Amino acid sequence: MINLENKVFNIYIYIFIFIIVLILNQSAVAQNRIFFNGRDITEEIETLERKGELLIKARDLEEMLDAELKWQSAIKTLEMKSDGVKIKLMADSPYIQIGNKALKTKAGLVLMDGSAFVPLARSIEAFGFLLEFQRGKEELYIFKPETTIDNVCWSEDGNQLKIEMDEITPYRVLKGENEKEIIVEIDKAEIAKGFTDNISNDNFYLKIDNVPDNALLRLTVKSKYPIPFQLDGGVHEEEEGLVLSFLPQIKTISWSDKDMLMVEANGEIFKPDIMYLEEPRRMVIDIPNLMLGDYKLNLPENEWVKDVRVSQFKYDPVTLRIVLELKGEKILQPLSREKEDLLVFKPTVQTEINNLVYSGRKIKFNSTSSLVPDMFLLSEPPRLVINLFNAERGENISDSVEIENDSLIEKIRTARFDQQTVRFVADLKELTGYSWEEEKTNDGYSYTVSFKNKFSSISSKEVDGFQYININLTGNAEYEVKKFNYPHRLVVDIKNAVDNLEDIELPEYGSMIRDIRTSRFDKDGKEVIRLVFELNKYYNHEITKTEQGRRINIALAKDQSFVNPTRKDRIVVDAGHGGFDPGAIGKSGLEEKEVNLAIALHLAQMLRDSGQDVILTRDGDEFISLKQRVSKANKSGAALFVSIHANSFNDPQSSGTETYYSRAKSEKSRKLAEYLQQELETGMDLLGRGVKEENLYVIKYTQMPAVLVETAFLSNPHEESLLSEDMFRKKAARAIYRGIIKYMNTISKGGDNL
C-alpha cells in the first residue's frame, strides 16, 4: 500500500514539473538581441515566443513608436496608431488588421499576466519599418527605411535605366540566372506609395520584391533578349539616384528615297568591319558593341539590295552582324559619319586608283570617284593599313613601291583584299601619326596621307627658382609626363611620334639636367617614344601649359621652397565607402573601406602638420551617403575636395593608379587631378593609368575643385598585398599630399591661369 502511494505521489510530482516547464517554455523570453534604429533595446523590452513567432509587449511597442494605444476590454481588442497608420488585433484571433487589410499571423494577440503581446514582425512592418535577421548571430535589426524609390524609368534614348530615389543607400547590381536578367538590390529601401511601373513593355518586365529578413528591396529586370549590360562601368550615381547604362540596340534598317541604306541605333554606333563576299555577292557589316533588339526593316524594291539579314554574331565581344545580299554587280560603300548613331551606305560605281607616289613623308594617289577609307595602324611589325572600298588598281599601280633612304617608311605594298577592296600597306620603321586629305580635281579626286609628330625643337632656360624645359612637336601629340627615382629622371612618353632626337640641336643642360636621351617601348599594343631628362637633383615639377598639343612646357623646381606649402586653406578628405558598404573586396578579404580610411587619416595628419585645416567626411567605419558627403563639403567652405578609393576589375591582372575629375567642373579640377596623378605615379612605383574624365557624384556636385583617386587595384593580388601594409598606405598618402601642396603653391604663384 505504501509503495502504491509512493508511486502515485511520484507521478503527481512528475506531472507538476512537466506543467511548470511547459508554462516556462510558453512564456520564455526570446534569446534574440534586438536593435532598433541601431540601438540595442533587448533589455528595455519584454518579448516571448508563441507558435514559432516572436511577440513584443504592446506597451513596449507603444513607447518605441511613440504611438497611441487603446484597449477595449469588453471585446478584448487592441488598437494602435502611429503616423497615420492604425492596426487592430483581437484576442484568440490570428489576424492583424492593417487599415482595410487583414493579414494572418501564427500567434495573433496573446494576453498574459495582465499584459497584451502582439506579433513583432507584422506590427513593426505595418508601421513602415524594415527587418533584418542575422541568423548566425541571432540578432534582429529594426530599421526605418532610409530611402524611397520614387520611379524606375528609361532614359529618352532607351539606353539607360534610371532608379530615382531620395537618398542613395548601399546597393548591389548582380547578374541574373542568364543573359536576359539583371538584379539590383538596395538596402533599407521602400517603394513610394504612388510608384508605377514605367519599365515593362514588349521587351522588358520589372519585378519588385522585399527580401525577408534582409531589410532590402530587390528589383529584377527581365528581357526578351540578352540585356546589353556590363557590371564594370555600367553603374553610375547621380543626384537623383542610380543609372544603369546599357549598350545600344539596333533601331532601324531602311532604304531611303535617295537610294541610300541607313542603319540607325538608339545610341552610338562604333566603327564597323566590312567585308565583301561572292557567290552570292554579299556585303558583311560587323558592328561592335551593338545589340540585337526589335528593329524595323524597311526595304522596298530597289535595284541594289535583294535581302537583309541581321544576327547577334558574338556576345564576347559583343558584335552585331548585318549581311546585305546585293543584286548583280551592284556595290555599296560607307559614307563619312555625320551622326554617331547612324551608318549610311551609298550605291556607287567601282573606282580606279592611279598614280601612287611617296614623297616628303606623304603618300599620294588619285581616284576616279570619291573614297571613304578604312585606316588603322598595326604594331607587329609597324605598318599603316589603308582599305579602299569599291576600288580596283589602275595599270600604273604596281604590287610594291620601294622607298630608299627614308627614316619612316620602308615600302608600300598594294593588293586586292577581297572582291571589292584594294588594300595599301605602308611598312613603317616605327609607328607614327597620320592624317587623310581629299581634294576634288578635274579628273576625279586626289588623296594625301600625311605622317607627322616628331620633335621640332627642345629648349631650356632658368628663371626665378625654376628651370624651364620647352618641347616642341610638329603635330598634336598624346603624351604623359612622369617622374622616376634612383636616379632622378623626368620622362615624357609620346604616342605616335618619331624619334628624331639626333636630328635636332639640344639645349645647354643647365643646373638641373645631367643628360637628355630617348628610348622606345610598347604600351597597350602601341609604340611609345620616351624622352628622358636625367637630373642632377629633384625637388618637384609642374607642367605649365601646352599649345594645341604641339608644345610641352615643364618647370623644374630648383629648391625645396616649391615643396613646402605657401598658403593655408581648408581641405575636405573623403574616405570612400564605409559601414554597411565595404566597397571592393580583395581575394584575401581586404575591404576597400578599411584601406580608404587608413590612407585618409594619414593624409589628414600630414596636411594638418603642414598647417592646413582638414575636414574628414568620415573618421570611422560608418556609412555616409554620397549626398551627405557632398553636402558636408559644400557647407564647409573648403578650397579642395579629395576622395580616396581603391580600384577593382574582373581581370586580376589589371593594375595601377588613376585620378578622376568631372568634365562638368572647372579647369582647376583637371589641374588638381594632373598634379595628384604625377605624384602617385612617382611616389608609389605603380603603373600610371593617367587622368580621366568621369561625372562621378562626389566630384561633380561639390562646389570646389574636386578629384577622386583610385590608389591601386584590390582585385590584383599583388596590389591587394601592398594595400594591406601601413607603409604603403602612408606612401600613398604622402603622394596625394605632395600633389595637393604642389597645386596650392601653383595657385599662390598665380600660375597656369588658375
**Boundary-marking domain end, from 562, 582, 617:** 562
Which has the closest alpha carbon to 458: 516, 512, 539? 516
**Boundary-marking domain end, from 306, 326, 347:** 347
How many other β-carbons are positioned within 10 Å of the β-carbon of residue 508?
9
Same domain, 547 and 579: no
User: Which pLDDT score is estimated for 13?
Assistant: 54
Strand pairing of 85-90 and 95-98? antiparallel
CB 563 within 8 A of CB 540: yes
User: Which pLDDT score is estimated for 9?
Assistant: 52
Alpha-carbon distance of 594 to 723, in angstroms, equals 10
Same domain, 227 and 355: no
Domain count, the chain: 7
Which has the closest alpha carbon to 353: 364, 365, 362? 365
User: Which pLDDT score is estimated for 194?
Assistant: 80
User: Which pLDDT score is estimated for 752?
Assistant: 44
Q: What is the CATH number of the domain that holds 289?
A: 2.60.40.3500
**Residue 697 sits in which domain range?**
570-753
The three grid cell numbers given for residue 524, joined into one nine-digit string: 597597350
User: Which pLDDT score is estimated for 406?
Assistant: 77
DSSP conformational letter for 336? P
User: Which pLDDT score is estimated for 477?
Assistant: 66
CA 598 vs CA 522, 622, 717: distances in Å: 35, 14, 19
Residue 487: cis peptide before it, omega within 30 degrees of 0: yes
Q: Which residue has the cell 538590390?
A: 185
Which has the closest alpha carbon to 216: 186, 260, 175? 186
Same domain, 577 and 720: yes
Which has the closest alpha carbon to 510: 555, 462, 465, 554? 462
User: Which pLDDT score is estimated for 47?
Assistant: 92
Classified as helix, coil or strand, 735 is helix
Q: What is the CATH number of the domain that holds 41?
A: 3.30.457.10
CB 473 within 8 A of CB 494: yes
Q: What is the CATH number of the domain that holds 189?
A: 2.60.40
Same domain, 300 and 232: no
Pick out the chain residues at pLDDT < 50.
1-2, 17-30, 545, 547-548, 751-754
Same domain, 12 and 43: no
User: Which pLDDT score is estimated for 21?
Assistant: 44
User: Which pLDDT score is estimated for 364?
Assistant: 93
Same domain, 724 and 576: yes
CB 699 within 8 A of CB 669: yes
**Boundary-marking domain end, from 203, 229, 245:** 245
Compute the chain's Rg from CA coordinates.
35
Alpha-carbon distance of 629 to 14, in angstroms, equals 65
Long-range contacts of 726-733 (CB under 8 A, 24+ apart): 726/598, 728/684, 729/595, 729/598, 729/599, 729/602, 730/602, 731/683, 731/684, 732/599, 732/602, 732/680, 732/683, 732/684, 733/599, 733/600, 733/602, 733/603, 733/606
Q: What's the N-to-C CA distance of the chain in angstroms?
A: 110
Sheet arrangement for strand 273-277:
273-277, 282-288, 318-326, 305-315
What proportions of the chain, in percent to the nearest 5, are helix, strand and coil? 20, 45, 35
Alpha-carbon distance of 192 to 166, in angstroms, equals 10
Beta bridge partners of 103: 96
DSSP conformational letter for 211? E
Same domain, 44 and 16: no
Sheet arrangement for strand 296-298:
296-298, 250-255, 261-265, 342-347, 332-334
Same domain, 233 and 269: no
Query: What are the pLDDT digits (tens) for 214-242?
Result: 778 899 999 887 777 766 557 888 888 88
Same domain, 716 and 603: yes
CA atoms within 13 A on the CB side of 157: 15
The three grid cell numbers given for residue 49, joined into one nine-digit string: 515566443
The three grid cell numbers given for residue 2, joined into one nine-digit string: 505504501
User: Which pLDDT score is estimated for 499?
Assistant: 81
Alpha-carbon distance of 54 to 105, in angstroms, equals 11
User: Which pLDDT score is estimated for 30?
Assistant: 44
Same domain, 293 and 375: no
Query: What are the pLDDT digits (tens) for 558-587?
Result: 876 555 666 789 999 999 999 888 999 999
Alpha-carbon distance of 399 to 388, in angstroms, equals 15
Same domain, 466 and 318: no
Same domain, 316 and 340: yes
User: Which pLDDT score is estimated for 309?
Assistant: 94
User: Which pLDDT score is estimated for 496?
Assistant: 64
How many other β-carbons are positioned within 10 Å of the β-carbon of residue 24?
9
